[in-house]
Amino acid sequence: MQKNTDPNKQLFSGFSVPDTEQINRALAIVAQIPEDPHYFRPKGVEVAAILMDLNIDLKTILAAILSDPRLTALDPQLNIKAEFGNKVAELVKDVIWLNKLSVYSLEMTNQPSQTEILRRMLLSMTQDVRAVLIKLAYRVQRLKVLPRDSYELRRFIAQETLDIYAPIANRMGIHQLKWELEDMAFRYLKPQSYRRIAKSLSDNRVARENCVNNFITLLKKKLGDEGIAAEIYGRPKHIYSIWKKMRRKQLDIDELFDLLAVRVIVDNLTSCYATLGVVHSIWQTIPKEFDDYIANPKENGYQSLHTVIIDQEGNRIEVQIRTQQMHDFAELGVAAHWSYKEGGKHDTAIEKNIASLRKLLEEKGDEVLSENFRSELFSDRVYVLTPAGKLIDLVKGSTPLDFAYAIHTEIGHRCRGAKVNGRIVPLTYTLKSGEQVKVLTAKDGGPNHNWIDLNLGYLKTSAAISKVKSWFKNQQQAQNIATGKAILEKESQRLGLKHVVLQDLTKHFNQPDTDKLLEALGHGDISRRQLAAFFKIPELEVQPAATQPKKSLAKSAISVDGIDNVLTSLAHCCSPIQGNEIIGYISHKKGITIHRKDCDNILHLSPEKQGQLIAVNWGDKKANFAIPIVIHAFNSQNLLNDVTRILADAKIHISNAALNTHPDFSALLNLTIQIEDTNQLSQILYKISQLPNIVDVKRKT
């Protein structure tokens, strides 16, 4: 078993003695895995060797070696945390999760928003971005052994690479991996195009090499004359990027003039611009092809000067000029960050590069995703899946109800439960990235008032809360309009009117349309007295409803103008109870009637009748008041039992009850209860509202 260890040790030279000892321990563990000639998947040691080219740190190398999927065959299982520390163990855990992730589907190729959400999810669910670096190296190695797999699997993995992993490598700034991933994936997806471009490059290789060598020889001499030290070499154009340019410009490869490229590495920033001046003084340039990415770095921190010249034979040559440090970041991206000692100096490029991790999955050109991302970093998001595998991007802390509203407003309104990964969960359950959510809906019905109570935790997203509030507003409007129609019809009959012109009423009460007029009537903004005044009919005497018995109070319950023992009665129009602000109305026929001060009939008394008002106050002794309440519920099952239990516990008597059920199992429960004061009423309404399936509970007016 030891035979594999020595060659592997040579791959990881360059570390300190203590670090090398840890690597050797990891290699010794991997060497215990039984050899399997039929195992063609990537191995941890092979992946770690790829990462060595990125100058990655010790913990990442160890995690790459120890994330080898074959280690699960060891008995007993390896305790990575005990052997190599918590950070390595966390990295291994993340890499294993990334390697097992199976969210991608080929349909996502034509769904840019879905591929973008998946990229975000990959980053949000990893504890350390270095796990993503290891995953990218795993994908490179997987592509190398892909010829042994079926055509369907090759196509799937190659397309996933182009859609998900190459873009991540690009935005992390790891161009070395980006180009390798793109070229290998392209080779499997478009083998004929790949071979044709590769052959063309090979056929013209000698001519291109001579052109580039002549350019380098002359530039080295001129820079030497100016005292500028530089490393200059030809830079190969990558096949996938050539193919994309051919498609973008609709040209054949023979018609492309910028397949030649040279890179110039100098000592410092001043030498970058001095070299640019030398290049421009010798060769003709193409002004529109000049880019200064040093003064204006790219989003991922990339810095370099780019220019294109035309040599004496008419060849176009792209020239890139940068310092060694700029080159490190251009090739290694964020990976280069860990090659610097802790506490070392970070220049602007490093800090910009690391900051870009926080915005890693922000895609230019996608306005919807950019808008979501502008104020919230990906760490504040949660990414969950529908049963069909579609990814949904939500605010962190979102619930199944938020998910339901993100799918469709109506699904949110009719949501009655949810399953997460096949298990029933409460609607207040906090979703985690990667979970699959199935919404359970009713055929009809609407949201619950409790859903918009932030303290109860049903909804997190402002969009979902807004949809619920809008639903209740629309329901209230519809109910008010229906009530307004009934009021107008009833008052028309009472007043003996055969025909009412709604447009005249609408204009008189300054309403924009007839629906708003009826809504105002139903809501009470326009009173019956105001209707009577419009029709020029004398105001109606304020009377209790004929079908309800007159309410009398104990002599000490009300104090009239400071005097007790005055007989009074409660007005049925506003049903005052102890705690309400009240006022008395002296009726010549019925004595003193007690109203709430905000009663509509009191507020709209004519000036001459306002003289019949008298100050009244509640007395010292307690009294019970019959108060009607109405309860809306999604489900009638156990509703009456649950409500009566709450009232019995509070020692509140029920004088009347009526339960109406509907085909969709929703219910309307009307109760008349004996209440002492407003505090007791408020407490009992709150307790009833906390029952399951309650939509609304309120005092009936």
Question: What confidence tens digit (pLDDT) does each residue in 57-112 have?
Answer: 788 889 999 988 888 777 788 888 898 988 899 889 888 888 887 777 788 778 77
Token code pair at residue 412:
């949110």
449, 484: one domain: no
| DSSP calls for 293-327 | TTTS--TT----EEEEEE-TT--EEEEEEEEHHHH
With a cut of 60, say whether residue 567 has pLDDT above it.
yes
With a cut of 90, say whether residue 292 has pLDDT above it.
yes
Residue 359 lies in a domain: no
pLDDT tens profile 639-683:
877 888 888 888 888 877 788 877 666 788 888 888 877 778 878
**Least-confidence region, from 341-345, 505-509, 610-614:** 341-345
The residue ranking higher by pLDDT, 347 or 158, is 158
91, 173: one domain: yes
Residue 541 lies in a domain: no
Last residue of a domain, one of 603, 618, 633: 618
322, 244: one domain: yes
Last residue of a domain, one of 151, 171, 189: 189
Residue 368 lies in a domain: no
- Count structural domains, the chain: 6
Residue 544 lies in a domain: no
Banded pLDDT at 7 (limits 50, 70, 90): low
**Least-confidence region, from 4-18, 116-130, 671-685:** 4-18
Banded pLDDT at 125 (limits 50, 70, 90): low
Banded pLDDT at 456 (limits 50, 70, 90): confident
With a cut of 50, say whether residue 266 has pLDDT above it.
yes
For tokens 């009566």, name the residue.
644
Structure confidence at residue 159 (pLDDT): 92
Query: Within the chain, what is the greatest distance between any pair of CA atoms?
Result: 119
Average pLDDT over residues 368-384: 48
Strands (E), 151-229: none
How many whole angstroms separate alpha carbon 547 and alpha carbon 540? 18
Residue 569 lies in a domain: yes
174, 322: one domain: no
Q: What percent of the chain has pLDDT over 70?
A: 81
With a cut of 80, say whether residue 540 has pLDDT above it.
no
The residue ranking higher by pLDDT, 371 or 507, is 507
For tokens 């995690």, name the residue.
63
48, 185: one domain: yes
pLDDT tens profile 16-40:
888 888 888 888 888 888 777 767 7
Average pLDDT over residues 504-526: 80
| CATH (domain of 233) | 3.30.460.10
How many whole angstroms separate alpha carbon 445 and alpha carbon 464? 17
Q: Whole-angstrom distance between the N-terminal and C-terminal Cα of the chain? A: 87
Structure confidence at residue 430 (pLDDT): 92
| Alpha-carbon dihedral sign for residues 624, 625, 626, 632 | negative
pLDDT tens profile 147-163:
888 999 999 999 999 98
167, 294: one domain: no
Banded pLDDT at 495 (limits 50, 70, 90): low
Q: Which of 110-114, 224-228, 511-515 has the highest mean pLDDT?
A: 224-228
Average pLDDT over residues 110-129: 73
Phi-psi region of 104 (alpha: psi -120 to 50; beta: other; left: phi over 0): beta
With a cut of 60, say whether residue 342 has pLDDT above it.
no
22, 152: one domain: yes
Residue 357 lies in a domain: no
Residue 84 lies in a domain: yes
The residue ranking higher by pLDDT, 549 or 602, is 602
With a cut of 80, say whether residue 317 has pLDDT above it.
yes
Q: If you average pLDDT over every residue of the chain, what do you get?
A: 78
The residue ranking higher by pLDDT, 537 or 83, is 83
Closest alpha carbon to 423 in 442, 437, 412: 437
The residue ranking higher by pLDDT, 360 or 275, is 275
578, 478: one domain: no
Banded pLDDT at 333 (limits 50, 70, 90): low
623 Cβ neighbours under 8 A, 6+ residues apart = 553, 554, 557, 578, 676
Token code pair at residue 494:
């009472």
| CATH (domain of 116) | 1.10.3210.10
**Least-confidence region, from 116-120, 187-191, 353-357:** 353-357
572, 675: one domain: no
455, 569: one domain: no
Structure confidence at residue 10 (pLDDT): 63
Structure confidence at residue 538 (pLDDT): 41
Token code pair at residue 288:
């529109």
With a cut of 70, say whether residue 529 has pLDDT above it.
yes
Residue 608 lies in a domain: yes
The residue ranking higher by pLDDT, 534 or 143, is 143
| CATH (domain of 648) | 3.30.70.260
Output the CA–CA distances (angstroms, integers) from residue 583 to 491, 568, 699, in the order listed. 27, 11, 20
Structure confidence at residue 360 (pLDDT): 36
Last residue of a domain, one of 323, 339, 355: 339
Q: Which of 281-285, 500-504, 525-529 has the highest mean pLDDT?
A: 281-285
75, 176: one domain: yes
With a cut of 50, say whether residue 341 has pLDDT above it.
no
56, 124: one domain: yes
The residue ranking higher by pLDDT, 111 or 597, is 597
Structure confidence at residue 345 (pLDDT): 39
Structure confidence at residue 73 (pLDDT): 75
| CATH (domain of 425) | 3.10.20.30
Question: Which range marks the domain in which residue 644 is found?
Answer: 625-699
For tokens 């004061």, name the residue.
677
The residue ranking higher by pLDDT, 488 or 233, is 233
What stretch of H or E contains 291?
A: strand 291-292
